[in-house]
C-alpha cells in the first residue's frame, strides 16, 4: 500500500487506458491531407478542446496525478529537439534517437514501485513516439498536439505533487 492507503496492484488494474478515452487514437496519423501549398493539415482533433481537454483532465484525476512539472519535463525535452531542428544544427536522423528516448523515460517513470506518472500519460508518450516517423510528423503533428495537452493542462494539473 502507498501513503494514501491505495493498493498499487488494484490501481494498475483499474487505470484507464488511452484507447478507452479516445478510441482509434492516432489511427491514420496526425494529418488530414495537405493544403493548397502542400503543407500537411493537422487533424483538428489533436488540438481541440473537445478531445484534448478530457484526456488531460483524466490524467489529473489518475493515480498518480500527472503534474505540470512532470508534463513540462517531457515537453521541454521535445522543445530542445525542436530548437536544434529549426536552427538546422542537426538532422531528424540524428535527433530521432534522442526523441525515442522519451518512450523509455516514460516507461521508467510509470514502471517504478511508486509511479511518477499515470498510465494515460505513459500511453500518450508511447503511442506518439511510435507514430512519429519523420521530422514533419514531429514538428507539425506531435508538437502541436503536445502543446495543446500542455495548454489545457494548465487548467487541470497541479504544479507539483503535494505528498
- Confidence band of 14 (pLDDT split at 50, 70, 90): low
- Cell digits of residue 12: 494498475
pTM: 0.89
For residue 15, the 8-state DSSP code is -
- Cell digits of residue 58: 483524466
Check whether the bond before 89 is cis (ω within 30° of 0): no
Question: How would you label 130-156 residue by residue, b for 16+ Cβ within 10 Å and e otherwise?
Answer: ebbeebebbbbbbbebbbbbbebbeeb
- Enumerate residues 6+ apart whose C-beta is below 8 A from 25: 18, 19, 127
> Which tens digit of pLDDT belongs to each residue from 68-117?
999 999 999 999 999 999 999 999 999 999 999 999 999 999 999 999 99
Amino acid at each position: 500500500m502507498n501513503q494514501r492507503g491505495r493498493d498499487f496492484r488494484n490501481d494498475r488494474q483499474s487505470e484507464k487506458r488511452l484507447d478507452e478515452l479516445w478510441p482509434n487514437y492516432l489511427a491514420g496519423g496526425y494529418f488530414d491531407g495537405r493544403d493548397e501549398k502542400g503543407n500537411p493539415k493537422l487533424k483538428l482533433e489533436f488540438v481541440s478542446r473537445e478531445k484534448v481537454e478530457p484526456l488531460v483532465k483524466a490524467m489529473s484525476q489518475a493515480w498518480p496525478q500527472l503534474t505540470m512539472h512532470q508534463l513540462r519535463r517531457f515537453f521541454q525535452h521535445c522543445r530542445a529537439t525542436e530548437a536544434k531542428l529549426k536552427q538546422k544544427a542537426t538532422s531528424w536522423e540524428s535527433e530521432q534517437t534522442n526523441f525515442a528516448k522519451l518512450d523509455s523515460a516514460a516507461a521508467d517513470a510509470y514502471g517504478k514501485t511508486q509511479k511518477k506518472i499515470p498510465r494515460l500519460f505513459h500511453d500518450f508518450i508511447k503511442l506518439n513516439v511510435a507514430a512519429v516517423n519523420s521530422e514533419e510528423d514531429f514538428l507539425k503533428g506531435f508538437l502541436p498536439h503536445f502543446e495543446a495537452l500542455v495548454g489545457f493542462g494548465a487548467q487541470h494539473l497541479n504544479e507539483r505533487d503535494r505528498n
